[in-house]
Amino acid sequence: MPSCHWVHSCFHSFCRLLAVRSIASLSNRAFCISSACHQGKAPDMNEVRNRLREIVGASTNWSDHQQAMAERASLSSLLAKSQDEMPAKTVKDSYTEVHLPLGSDPNIREKYLNYHNSVRFGRLLEDLDSLAVLICYSHTWNKELNRSPLSIVTALVDKIDMRKNIIYPDCDIKFTGNVTWVGKTSIEAKMHMTQYHNGAYSPVLDATFVMVARDPENKRAAFVNPLQVEGPKEEEDFQNGELNKKRRMELSKASLLKVAPTADERTLIHSLFLNTLDTKTVSFRSRLLPPNSVWMEDAKMKGLEICHPQERNIFNRIFGGFLMRKAYELGWANACVFGGCRPTLVAVDDILFQKPVEIGSLLMLSSQVCYTEGWYIQVRVHTEVLDPLTGQHNTTNVFHFTFRVDKEVPAVVPRSYGESMLYLDGKRHFDETMRGQA
C-alpha cells in the first residue's frame, strides 16, 4: 500500500486543528470530548467512548460500573412526560466530526490493521456504532444536567453503502455525522467516512443508523427532542427519513416469516427445484446438484463467543459494535471460503437488533451464503444467545452482507422449504442493494 506520511508532514498543523464540531457547536462547553477539544487536538474513538461514559455516569471499572448502573434508576424523574415539553434541536446541534489518525499514530494503526495490509472493517463498524450513539446524545443533551437520563441504544443499521473498496491502513480517516430524522422516541443518524489520500479526503462509506431512547434502566421507551429543520437540504433528509421508516414497515409486513412468497418468487423456487430433479428416477426424493452449484447446507459457517464484561457497553450489555464486528468477520470468512478468494464488501443492509445480549451469555453465530449472482455473494448471519442451564435459544440479531469477489461464483441451491425462504430473503436484500448502487 502507498504511504501517506508525506501528506501528514504538509498538513499536520491543519489536521491538529480539527476537532469534534458537534460538541463545539453546543452552547455548553462542558460537552467537549475530554481536554482534547480545548487543546485543538483531533480526538480519537477512545475519547468518544470516554465522553459517552461521562454522559451516563458509567465507569471503566467493572464493580464501579455495576454500581453506577444501579444508581441510574434515580434519573427517571428527569424524563420528559411528553415530547411537547422538550425544546427542538437543530441539525447543527448534533453535527459531529471525529478523526482516526491511522497515518500519524502507529499504536492505533496496529489495532485496525489486517493481514492483507488493509483496515479491519469490523473495527470501523464498532466506531460507527459509538459515533451514532454520541450523535444522538448530542441531539438530546440538556446542559442543565450532569448526566443524561436517556439510555440511547442501536435499534437497527438501515444501510451502509461502500463508496470505495480500498481503505489505506496508513492514512487518516475522518468520520462526520448528524441527526437527519426524529420520531417521538427514535432518531435516525447519518454518518460519512472519508480518508485522506493524494492530498484530499475522498468518500469511503455512507451509513444510516436508527437509534431508540429508553429510560435510565433501559426498560421502556423515552421521548427525545424534536428536530427543527432549516433549509431545503435538511428538509429533504427529514423526508427521506420518513420514507425510510415507511419502507421498513412495508418490508416488515412483507416478510417471508409472515406472508407467502410472491407469484414470481414461487415460480423461481419451483424452477430451482425442477433443475435438481434426477431425470432417471423422476422422484421427489431424488435430487441432483446442477453443474457449478453448491447446496445451501454446504455453504455455512458457525462461531461461538463467550460474552465477557470487557465487551460491555455503557449500559452494562454487550456492545452492539462488538456484535457487528464478530458477525461481519464470520460472514467475510464464509464468503471467502465459498468464493475461493478474498471478498470485498459492497453493502451492509438491514441489521436488526431484536434483543440485547447480556454479559455472560453464550453467543452463537451462524453464517449462511443464501444467494449468489455473478461475482456477488449475499451472506446472512444469525446470532442467538443460549442459556446453558435451560437450553433455551433466543435470536438477538440478524445481519445481511453483500460481498463481491474477482470471479464468478457457484450458484447456491436450496433443498428444503426453509432454505428456499432464506434464498428468497437473500435475493430481496441483494436486489435492494443493487438498486441502491445504481
Q: What pLDDT digit, counting tens, does each position of 266-323 carry?
A: 999 999 999 998 877 777 777 899 999 999 999 999 999 999 988 888 888 888 999 9
146 and 25 assigned to the same domain: yes
Q: Please, which pLDDT band fits residue 31 given cuts at 50, 70 and 90?
A: very low
> How far is it, in rounded angstroms, from Cα 348 to Cα 362?
25
What are the residues whose beta carbons fall under 8 Å from the beta carbon of 349, sequence distance 6 or more? Answer: 159, 160, 400, 401, 402, 429, 432, 433
29 and 115 assigned to the same domain: yes
Do the domain assignments include residue 250? no
Do the domain assignments include residue 392? yes
pLDDT in tens, 47-103: 888 899 889 887 777 777 677 777 888 899 999 999 999 999 999 999 999 999 999
Do the domain assignments include residue 104? yes
Whether residue 158 is predicted with pLDDT greater than 80 in this model: the reply is: yes
Last residue of a domain, one of 227, 248, 271: 227
184 and 283 assigned to the same domain: no
**What is the structure's pLDDT at 86?**
95
> How far is it, in rounded angstroms, from Cα 56 to Cα 50?
10
Do the domain assignments include residue 254? no
**What is the structure's pLDDT at 185?**
96
**What is the structure's pLDDT at 179?**
98
276 and 411 assigned to the same domain: yes
- Who has greater pLDDT, 151 or 63? 151
20 and 81 assigned to the same domain: yes
Do the domain assignments include residue 237? no
Last residue of a domain, one of 175, 209, 227: 227
Mean pLDDT calculated for residue range 186-196: 97
293 and 146 assigned to the same domain: no
> How far is it, in rounded angstroms, from Cα 174 to Cα 308?
30
187 and 330 assigned to the same domain: no
Whether residue 435 is predicted with pLDDT greater than 60 in this model: the reply is: yes
What are the residues whose beta carbons fall under 8 Å from the beta carbon of 369, sequence distance 6 or more? Answer: 294, 296, 299, 300, 334, 335, 338, 377, 378, 379, 412
Do the domain assignments include residue 245? no
Listed in sequence order, the DSSP H helices in 177-295 are: 232-253, 263-275
Could you give the percent of the chain with pLDDT greater than 70?
90
**What is the structure's pLDDT at 165?**
84
pLDDT in tens, 411-427: 999 999 999 999 999 99
* Pick from 40-49, 109-118, 286-295, 354-363: least confident: 40-49
302 and 216 assigned to the same domain: no
270 and 350 assigned to the same domain: yes
Q: Please, which pLDDT band fits residue 21 given cuts at 50, 70 and 90?
A: very low
- Structural domains counted in the chain: 2
Q: Please, which pLDDT band fits residue 42 given cuts at 50, 70 and 90?
A: low
3-class secondary-structure state, position 373: strand
CA distances from 374 to 20, 74, 314, 358 (A): 42, 56, 43, 40
pLDDT in tens, 115-145: 888 899 999 999 999 999 999 999 999 988 8
151 and 26 assigned to the same domain: yes
> How far is it, in rounded angstroms, from Cα 359 to Cα 286?
46
Mean pLDDT calculated for residue range 355-381: 95
**What is the structure's pLDDT at 299?**
97
**Contact criterion met (CB below 8 Å) for 109 and 8:** no
Count CA atoms closer than 13 A to 68's CA, side-chain side.
19
Could you give the percent of the chain with pLDDT greater than 90?
64
CATH number of the domain within which 143 lies: 3.10.129.10
269 and 214 assigned to the same domain: no
Across the chain, mean pLDDT equals 87
276 and 163 assigned to the same domain: no
Do the domain assignments include residue 427? yes
Do the domain assignments include residue 370? yes
**What is the structure's pLDDT at 415?**
93
Which grid cell is 236? 429533504
Domain containing 80: what range? 5-227
pLDDT in tens, 232-262: 999 999 999 999 999 999 988 999 999 999 9
